[in-house]
Amino acid sequence: MTQNKMKMLIIEDDPGLQKQLRWCFDAYEVVVAGDRDAALAQVRRHEPAVVTMDLGLPPDPDGATEGLATLRQILALAPDTKVIVLTGNQNHAHAVEAIGLGAYDFHQKPFDPEMLGLVVQRAFYLHALQQENRRMRQSQVDSPLSGVISRDAGMQRVCRNIEKVAPTSASVMVLGESGTGKEVLARALHQLSPRANQRFMAINCAAIPENLLESELFGYEKGAFTGAAKQTKGKVELAHGGTFFLDEVGDLPMSLQAKLLRFLQERVIERVGGHEEIAVDVRIVCATHQNLKALSASGRFREDLYYRLSEIVVTIPPLRDRIGDAALLAHHFKNKFCAQESRPTLHFSQEAIGVIESYPWPGNVREMENCIKRAIIMADGPQITAEDLGLSASAEPEQPINLRQVRDEAEYAAIVKALARVDGNIVRAAELLGISRPTLYDLMGRHAIKSAAAG
């Protein structure tokens, strides 16, 4: 059923090689072209994700002029197309020129079917990731959770929990490692709430000196201290009617914890140097990467304040535990920073994608964002290499030794990744996994995996 197969274009003027390449790639819907006009017509008609091409096309079969011109026009028509150049040893310089023009990769003739098959498979994978990333960006234009880029089931559950709690008045505590996107979710919660038309005010308790934090939170009266030249409202008062976000609340000094608790109980504040009680209607959302229960047990965080703040607790999984999200986010940030830095569209090399998927990302999404921005700036050619990423190798976590556990975890991860890559298409997922559709359905039932992509 060709309608379910991924489309591939072979540009080759030798009928014998055309037939050989068709046979090698019978898993795809293959269309062929023997010259530039036919190739461009096939690109317009079929929009193939991957193209293999010989640079020696008529009327210049012994040179590369016609092939390079065809390459330029294909990439102008469909910039995301992955073009793999097939070249002889004597044409290495032409292959390098093709890469400079934007070709995805080149492969030596006579080609090794198995090796070329792996290159083609990887090209389809990267193209699918880019298209998925684009679809997600388009579908999230008007979404309150547009800042969340994820296909991971655990992260999608977090988003659904935010959607459930947003319309309520409950205080929410967002837990997660540094860089996981706690403020992004807090802002999304505000946008989904009835307070969306009012202010969202944020303060980082760890970034402001203790002697200034109280006046930042609650404001101050004129003359309250040296330099207090006029009455100034604090962040809590400025958020009246809206949402107030306390980031890194675990770093809040004990003296201010008592005042914050009183505000949560009475819903009134007093400015520094003032005696008037001011009623403030505000929803409190807080976040921390610390274990507040442990801090409470050690006497560094008030237990009564903890329970006031944690009516609803949402925990964000670290990036290393989000299946498939590393590559997806990498493409998202690549597109973002290519546009921001006015760079032509760059592509990740196979080695770079491999490093991105295997790196544990201790700094989570924030580290990923900084890493990709640096790579966009430092990349010399049309590809982002593993060296451009500048990621150091790290030790692999210890793996379980129980064979059944290893097999079950590997099966689950492979099926989820395959379904994510093909946007829930069972036929294509089965092809990626090398199994039949009934087998895939059986495995999905066993691991309680749904075919529809979350989001």
Q: What pLDDT is attached to residue 141?
A: 43
Ramachandran quadrant class, 232 (left: phi over 0; alpha: psi -120 to 50; beta: rest): beta
For residue 348, the cross-strand partners are 384
Count of other CB atoms within 10 angstroms of residue 410? 10
Residue 217 CA to residue 202 CA, distance in Å, equals 10
Residue 453: pLDDT over 60: no
Q: What pLDDT is attached to residue 146?
A: 60
Residue 373 CA to residue 341 CA, distance in Å, equals 9
Q: Which residues contact 192 (CB under 8 A, 6 or more apart)?
A: 144, 145, 162, 163, 166, 167
Residue type, 72: R
**Closest by Cα among 367, 202, 210, 212 to 287:** 202
As a whole-number percent, the residues of the chain with pLDDT over 90 amount to 46
* DSSP class of 273: T
Instruction: Give the pLDDT mean for 361-382.
Output: 92
Residue 162 CA to residue 172 CA, distance in Å, equals 9
Residue 79: pLDDT over 50: yes
φ, ψ for residue 207, nearest 5 deg: -95, -5
Residue 276 CA to residue 264 CA, distance in Å, equals 17
Q: What pLDDT is attached to residue 287?
A: 95
Q: What pLDDT is attached to residue 402?
A: 63
Q: Tokens 């012994």 map to which residue?
A: 62
End-to-end alpha carbon distance in the chain: 28
Residue type, 383: Q
**Closest by Cα among 55, 53, 118 to 90:** 55
At residue 11's C-alpha, the angle toward residues 8 and 17, to 5°, is 100
pLDDT tens for each residue of 126-157: 888 888 776 666 555 444 566 688 878 888 88
pLDDT tens for each residue of 98-123: 988 889 998 888 888 889 999 999 99
φ, ψ for residue 54, nearest 5 deg: -90, 130
Instruction: Give the pLDDT mean for 58-65.
Output: 86
Q: Model-level pTM?
A: 0.60
Reported as half-sphere exposure (CB side, CA atoms, 13 A), residue 158 has a value of 28
Residue 50 CA to residue 219 CA, distance in Å, equals 60
Strands 232-233 and 219-220: antiparallel
Residue 401: pLDDT over 60: no
pLDDT tens for each residue of 177-201: 999 999 999 999 999 999 999 999 9
Strands 347-348 and 278-279: unpaired
**Closest by Cα among 203, 200, 199 to 218:** 203
157 by DSSP, 3-state: which? helix
CB 186 within 8 A of CB 248: no
Q: Which tokens in the block code for residue 438?
A: 């009934």
Residue type, 407: R
